[in-house]
Amino acid sequence: MSNEVTGVELDEYFDLVIDPTGDVGKVSGLDEVAKNISGRVREIIEAESIGTRLGRNRQLKLESRIESAILENEWTVEAEARVRGNPAESTIIADIIVLTSLGVIEDVIRV
């Protein structure tokens, strides 16, 4: 495993960020790992829960799937995910805590 992780910078809508010089922004370290994990969690939620009711069994399955996917990241040491629905907004919310070799990531992801 390399000691450095870098990538393009994305905003909260996953659009490229352009820095003041006009170049595509870059992120590194823990910010890059957090961006990658957040994107992966969004993919899982969209693929496995859009158009379905979030009952207890689906919630547990989704939490397990998210944790497994996060653990696939080479920087991840430990992961915990809690999923809940927000019927008023028709969204699913994932609260994640991830221990990586670079630090801790705490994020709330809404899809």
pLDDT, averaged in runs of 10, over the chain (111 residues): 62 70 75 90 88 85 96 94 83 94 94 87
The answer to whether position 1 is within a domain reads no
For the domain that residue 65 is a member of, what is the CATH number?
3.10.450
In a domain, 23, yes or no: yes
pLDDT given at position 3: 55
CB neighbour burial string for 64-89, b if at least 16 within 10 angstroms, e if fewer: ebbbebbeebebbeebebebebeeee
pLDDT score for 16 = 63
In a domain, 51, yes or no: yes
CB 45 within 8 A of CB 111: yes
- Distance CA(49)–CA(68), nearest Å, equals 16
Is 73 part of any domain? yes
- Residue 29 counted as domain residue: yes
**pLDDT at residue number 48:** 85
- Residue 25 φ then ψ, to 5°: -65, 155
Number of domains in the chain: 1
* Segments forming the whole domain that contains residue 105: 6-110
- Give the C-alpha distances (Å, rounded to integers) separating 3 from 10, 40, 65, 102: 22, 22, 27, 9
Residue 69 in domain: yes
